Amino acid sequence: MKGNEISVTRDNLVSEVMNMKNEGCRFVTISTALTAEDAVDVLYHFEKDFEVTHLRLSDHPLAEAMPSISGVYFGALLAENELQDLFGMKFSGLVLDFNRTLYLEEEVTVVPLVNNCKVAGTN
């Protein structure tokens, strides 16, 4: 099921997510893929009446905080915390921030899914 894809920017992401909620869409998850050594594409997946819609934020710099959508869809806090753990991403406005300890121990200093990337503030 391919679904519809809508391009979004960092500035209109939360308002587009709010539109999805107002249309009665169910939040499914967030996925991401490296597009460069220091950037990712982030896809937000929604479903309504067996039709999937994806919001795509392209080439987002890993060093730049993303706006959290957990204020709109509370369950997104798990996917956003997972991306913080595994990709070293940061989300501003996250309703519950595990500070990279949702899946990882505090001693982990390397970002698992990003080559040669250390956690900020570690040696």
Element (H, E) at 86: helix 76-87
What are the strands of the beta sheet with 26-36, ordered from one edge?
Answer: 4-8, 51-61, 39-48, 26-36
SS3 8: strand
Distances (CA, A) of 26 to 17, 33, 119: 11, 22, 33
What percent of the chain lies above the pLDDT cut of 70? 79
* Per-residue confidence band for 123, with pLDDT thresholds at 50, 70 and 90: very low
**pTM to 2 decimals?**
0.82
Class of 4-92 in CATH: alpha beta
Q: Delimit the domains of the chain by residue range.
A: 4-92
Distances (CA, A) of 102 to 27, 45, 51, 82, 83: 20, 21, 31, 7, 10
Tens of pLDDT, residue by residue over 41-77, are 999 999 999 999 999 999 999 889 999 999 999 999 9
